[in-house]
Amino acid sequence: MSDTADLLFEIGVEEIPAPAVLPALKQLEELVADGLEEARLSHGEVTTWGTPRRLTIMVRDVATRQPDVEQEVKGPPAAAAFDDEGNPTKAAEGFASGRGLTVDDLEVRETDRGDYVFATVQEKGAAALDVLPRILTDAVTSLSFPKTMRWGDLDFRFARPIRWLLALLGEDVIDLELAGLTSDRVTYGHRFLSDGPIEIARPDEYLDALEQAYVIADHKRRKTMIAEGAQQAAAEAGGSVRLEPELLEEVNFMVEYPTALVGHFDPRYLELPDDVIVTVMSGHQRYFAVEDRDGELLPMFVAIRNGDEQGLDIVRQGNERVIEPRLADAEFYLTEDMRTPLPDRLESLKRVTYIEGLGSLYDKTRRLERLVQWLCGQVRQIEKTDEKHAARAARLAKCDLNTNMIGDTKLAELQGRIGAEYARRSGEPEAVALAIGEHYRPHSAADKPPMTTPGRVLALADKMDHLAACFRIGLRPTGSADPHALRRAAQGIVRIILKARWRVEMPAFIAEALANLPEIDDPNAISPEEAAAQIEQFIARRLEGELETHGVTYDLIRAVIGGATDDLLDVYDRALAIRDVRNSDPEAFELVMMAAERTANIVRGPKAEELLQLDPGQLTEAESVALCEALANAREAISEALSDPAERDYAAAWQALASLREPIDAFFDSVLVMAEDDAVRQNRLALLAQVDDLFLRLLDVQEIVIEGEND
């Protein structure tokens, strides 16, 4: 066998739910790569492929044998290994024989704990075929899924029953047993279009062999085929397909051999709102909508069949028969829902529980109205007209949750958007309807935050009320579990504030939301003060993530958040400005940081313990006077640079701080801070405390990591 060979491992399963495939492939790649590294098996490129019925990993150029290693092993103390005459004891003999050595192979060395016996052990590398079964088995058993199942009498859990295992290293089968199965070189093609098992002689035959059996195993290629096929089918029918990325991803992992087809539905359903039609098609049937050149929906859809073109007309008719009743249901919901105008549904919210122990949706609505009013009083950019529309939208925002349309679980994702449509049809102003439609946004990292002022106000109020309610009764997320979507709510608050460039005093906002909650009678409840601290920290973590996406290093994030964090926009702008300063001249930045950190290190303790008051008149040394004057000038410059909340000049503020470097260095070179005279010492510490406080207006210098500082 050559020095390297390609590794191919396929887990054949019953159909896995589409959303679970990609995460499983990512885990599989990491687990196998980590296992190979731990086993000292070098390798090349790692690739994964997935379909509903298979999870596959290909690793190029895997070493066929582990390298030999030489390892030094520490044994017993020399005094225990040899007697007074230098003869080996049983301790020495046992230590040597246990490692396949003789006593003559042992060596006595001096250590900081005395003389000890050492042995140099040669460990011969094992064949990869002997090592890989454990690596692959561990990888499979370590995969996690949202839901797992057991089958037969096996004490083993997986997303779906495993039906076969293909494991090859080059032309050799990797022998492993798992879930009652033994690995082989056999795979299986399309469930209905292929003829029995397929033998794979070498890993590089895998993709072509499966394609001959009507399986496109490479999910990236399959996704492209779906997109191109859908576009072509729609174009031939006289339209253009709407390829929603999330739907495209889901459909990709529902099929193994995609074939696009166009179906039609009764044009009368185009009277339904576009959102409803598209959601019916995507949510119920995983169809893609088709539009004309102007972006108007056409009475047709694109479906992706898992198979070839045989009998395609029959499949098309079946899809058309299925979609018509779904659209008819939506038409019925709309007609019935509009018998009651949206505002008239407000009272019915009293009968719908928001969260157990936190009142009804009507109670939440009243809280939203109060929070919207509070926000409008805080943000100076909000005009009276926007305040009026935001207040009205807050009153109506949850009324659609008690409609037939949202009661259909497949259409529940329309909440907010269908509320906007019902608001329009109920005669509400367009600004109110838009705010209702926007207030759940952003739905995800890829989604945009609200764009209208009333929508932003309402979205902030809704998300903060949700955080306050959940944290107050102890529903804080744990690990990856976040059933109440609190991370999304906090991330939404951060993104909305940054996009709108609003200055909101976060502690006051959090306190207002908590104060609006009803009396809490829950064994898991925490105090408002504790909840406020947790929420503030929770939102700060989301801001950290936002800054990381903009290239702000972790130490700088901690340094900026270590200062004042009441104003998210201020933290964001400061971090980006200091990032640019650091990137433009790293050496100059480090020099300023070293001077400022020297100040912080000596003064943080004393100023935390007592009130230090500076008396400039008692400063006698020229360096002390110079630093005091430079401090006054820097303070004035910073105050001017940051005086206008709308146009804070953080670069100018930084330059003012940077001007203190030379006076600080000169001070430390010539002045003994910890003088014996108590009054002199206290005055010098007070001067440094004011320098440190001025730096803290921009960042906490003790959080900055300077390369080589601790070497």
Q: Are residues 60 and 135 in the same domain?
A: yes
Helix (H) / strand (E) containing 615: none
Measure the CA dihedral 510/514/515/517, to 10°.
150
Q: What tokens appear for 310 in the block?
A: 């045989």
- Final residue belonging to a domain, choices 280, 306, 337: 337
| Phi and psi angles of residue 28, each rounded to the nearest 5 degrees, phi first | -60, -45
- Cβ contacts of 377 within 8 Å, gap of 6 or more: none
- Final residue belonging to a domain, choices 123, 156, 191: 123
pLDDT of amino acid 479: 77
- Cβ contacts of 608 within 8 Å, gap of 6 or more: none
* pTM of the complete model beyond 0.85: no
Q: Are residues 154 and 133 in the same domain?
A: yes
Q: Are residues 44 and 151 in the same domain?
A: yes
Residue that is written with structure tokens 């909101």 in the block: 504
306 bridge partner residues: 258
Which CATH number do you get for residue 48? 3.30.70.260
380 vs 382: CA distance, rounded Å? 6
Host domain of residue 629: 573-703
pLDDT of amino acid 1: 54
421 vs 436: CA distance, rounded Å? 9
Q: Are residues 36 and 152 in the same domain?
A: yes
Q: For residue 335, with 0-12 CB atoms within 10 Å meaning exposed, 13-18 middle and 19 or more buried, which class applies?
A: exposed
Which CATH number do you get for residue 521? 1.10.3210
Does 568 reside within a domain?
no
Q: What percent of the chain has pLDDT over 70?
A: 99
Contact indicator for 93, 136 with CB cutoff of 8 Å? no
**Type of residue numbered 60:** R
| Measured distance between the N- and C-terminal CA atoms of the chain, rounded to whole angstroms | 47
Q: Are residues 258 and 277 in the same domain?
A: yes
136 vs 140: CA distance, rounded Å? 6
Q: Are residues 153 and 25 in the same domain?
A: yes
- Cβ contacts of 293 within 8 Å, gap of 6 or more: 240
41 vs 59: CA distance, rounded Å? 11
Does 560 reside within a domain?
no
501 vs 180: CA distance, rounded Å? 59
CB burial of 256-280 (b: ≥16 within 10 Å; e: otherwise) equals bbbbbbbbbbeeebeebbbbbbbbb
| Phi and psi angles of residue 567, each rounded to the nearest 5 degrees, phi first | -115, 105
Q: Are residues 107 and 250 in the same domain?
A: no
List Cα–Cα distances, 373 to 332, 362, 391, 435, in angstroms.
Answer: 37, 17, 7, 15
pLDDT of amino acid 2: 72
With CA atoms as reference, report the closest residue to 213 among 200, 196, 225, 231.
196
Contact indicator for 629, 614 with CB cutoff of 8 Å? no
Q: Are residues 281 and 429 in the same domain?
A: no
DSSP 3-state of 187: strand
Contact indicator for 283, 272 with CB cutoff of 8 Å? no
Q: Are residues 172 and 235 in the same domain?
A: no
- Cβ contacts of 85 within 8 Å, gap of 6 or more: none
Q: Are residues 384 and 492 in the same domain?
A: yes
340 vs 355: CA distance, rounded Å? 25
Does 565 reside within a domain?
no
Q: What tokens appear for 525 in the block?
A: 């409840």
Supply the angle between the helices 417-425 and 430-438 in degrees, to the nearest 10: 160
With CA atoms as reference, report the closest residue to 332 among 268, 396, 428.
268
Polymer length in residues for the chain: 711
Residues of the chain with pLDDT under 70: 1, 563-565, 708-711
Contact indicator for 663, 630 with CB cutoff of 8 Å? yes
DSSP assignment, residue 16? P
Q: What tokens appear for 544 in the block?
A: 């950290």
Does 395 reside within a domain?
yes
Does 556 reside within a domain?
no
Contact indicator for 253, 21 with CB cutoff of 8 Å? yes
SS3 per residue for 485-526 = CHHHHHHHHHHHHHHHCCCCEHHHHHHHHHHCCCCCCCCCCC
Q: What tokens appear for 368 in the block?
A: 């939203």
- Final residue belonging to a domain, choices 302, 318, 337: 337
Domain count, the chain: 5
Half-sphere exposure of 80 (CA within 13 A, CB side): 10
Does 709 reside within a domain?
no
Q: Are residues 307 and 353 in the same domain?
A: no
Residue that is written with structure tokens 């062999």 in the block: 209
Q: For residue 375, with 0-12 CB atoms within 10 Å meaning exposed, 13-18 middle and 19 or more buried, which class applies?
A: buried
289 bridge partner residues: 301
Q: Are residues 661 and 603 in the same domain?
A: yes
